[in-house]
Homo-oligomer: A and B are copies of this chain.
Amino acid sequence: MGNETEVAGFTPTGAVYKSTKLPKPTRKTHKSLGIKEDELLGLYECMYRQRRFEERAAQMYQKGKFGGFLHLYIGQEALSSGLNYALNDDDDIITAYRDHGMGLARGISAKAGMAELFGKASGCSNGKGGSMHFFDVKNHFWGGHAIVGAHVPLGGGIALANKMRNEEKVTVCLFGDGAVDQGSLNESLNLAQLWKLPVIYVIENNGYSMGTAVQRHSAGELVDRALPYGMKHDVISGMDLLTVIDKFRDVAEEVRKDSMPWLIEVRTYRYRGHSMSDPANYRSKEELQEFKSYDPIERLKTYILERDLFDEKKLDEINGNIDEEILEAIDFAENSDFPDDEELYKHIYADDDFPYLR
């Protein structure tokens, strides 16, 4: 079929092996990056928490514990974890609907996250948002947005507010390769460059927009979307934690100083289907295997062990604790209450006594 359409079709064929190529990782070590060894351990834990949270969430979904869409971030955890480490706690982050990883990295607890999936009042969005709408505003995590491309202008707006208040804060706005085709991105890049907004736009290029490989939905290189505006830009590997930290620390500091925007394409890969219902027949097993061989968690583990920073026992201990934490999160979600019926009419308007709502 691929070939048949290759001949006649308008959209390039899907018979693409290697939807995305990985740039070289950084040569720097955790030492040269000034990352303390226990911090490294914390980063390992951070990635593993996201991984286990989602593996369990998938099980719960299959058990029918909750409905809706479930999009897993598994494979992309180096970006969420490294980015969060590179930023200040009061820097702002906004992302798309594949948001569990970023949310957990930013501070949403496994409990609050799992409860949100279950639609419980104790969830990170009070059960109103679900998987695609994790929010943790006190930790400067602005969600969780499900209309592809629609949150891209919001990122610029969050940065605009910070700039207007002369707060030296950086806003990071993440979105997928598929969102690159929405005009909202171009309008935002023009405005950000024109108004010198302290925002970093991040393309999470995981090779596919649903079942469509990058080359089939976007002409040219994604990062080149920055060219017309003269915006600073770069491409990095999102499969290597240290690379992510190295790049985002430098860029964040620069943006903090000169308040000029960046566009960064982060090449990564999602191991699972687009959502739970997607068998992912559009890609080759070889491709999946290859990217799994770059797994960011395994990679950090090897890095730690090879350098004898910690021993296997220590990492197993962390895994064990996280496994516990996630199981507790599931119990918590199970045992939490659903929102009161009254909640249906709350949080629509700023004032809950808004007239004529019923």
Give me the interface of A with B, judged by CB distance under 8 Å.
10-12, 181-187, 189-190, 193-196, 217-221, 224-231
Contacts and interface: CB of A to CB of B under 8 A. Distances in A.
A199 to B, nearest CB: 13
Given A183-B184, A228-B228, A12 B219 contact: no
B227 A227 contact: yes
A231 B220 CA distance: 9
B194 A11 contact: yes
Given A218-B190, A219-B230, A228-B227, A11 B195 contact: yes
Contacts of A225: 228
Contacts of A196: 10
Contacts of A189: 219
Q: Count this chain's copies in the assembly.
A: 2
Contact of A220 (B187, B195, B224, B229): B229
- Shortest 6 CB-CB contacts between residues of A and residues of B: A183-B183, A193-B219, A186-B186, A10-B195, A219-B229, A224-B228
Contacts of A195: 10-11
Nearest to A194: B219
A201 to B, nearest CB: 14
A203 to B, nearest CB: 12
A333 to B, nearest CB: 39
A147 to B, nearest CB: 14
A218 B191 CA distance: 8
A261 to B, nearest CB: 10
27 contacts: A10-B194, A10-B195, A10-B196, A11-B194, A11-B195, A12-B194, A181-B190, A182-B183, A182-B187, A183-B185, A183-B186, A185-B186, A186-B186, A189-B219, A190-B218, A193-B219, A194-B218, A219-B230, A220-B227, A220-B228, A220-B229, A220-B230, A224-B227, A224-B228, A225-B228, A226-B228, A228-B228
A228 B218 CA distance: 10
Contacts of A11: 194-195
Nearest to A160: B10
A184 B184 CA distance: 9
Given A10-B195, A183-B183, 20 more contacts: A181-B187, A182-B187, A183-B184, A183-B186, A183-B187, A186-B186, A190-B218, A190-B219, A193-B219, A194-B218, A194-B219, A219-B229, A219-B230, A220-B227, A220-B228, A220-B229, A220-B230, A224-B228, A227-B227, A227-B228
Contacts of A221: 228
A65 to B, nearest CB: 39
- Scoring A189, A220, A224 by chain B CB atoms within 10 A of each residue's CB, the highest score goes to A220
Contacts of A219: 189-190, 193-194, 228-231
A231 B183 CA distance: 17
Contacts of A182: 183, 187
Contacts of A220: 193, 227-230
Nearest to A229: B219
Nearest to A153: B183
Contacts of A217: 194
Contacts of A12: 194
Contacts of A224: 227-228
A336 to B, nearest CB: 41
- Scoring A186, A187, A190, A230 by chain B CB atoms within 10 A of each residue's CB, the highest score goes to A186
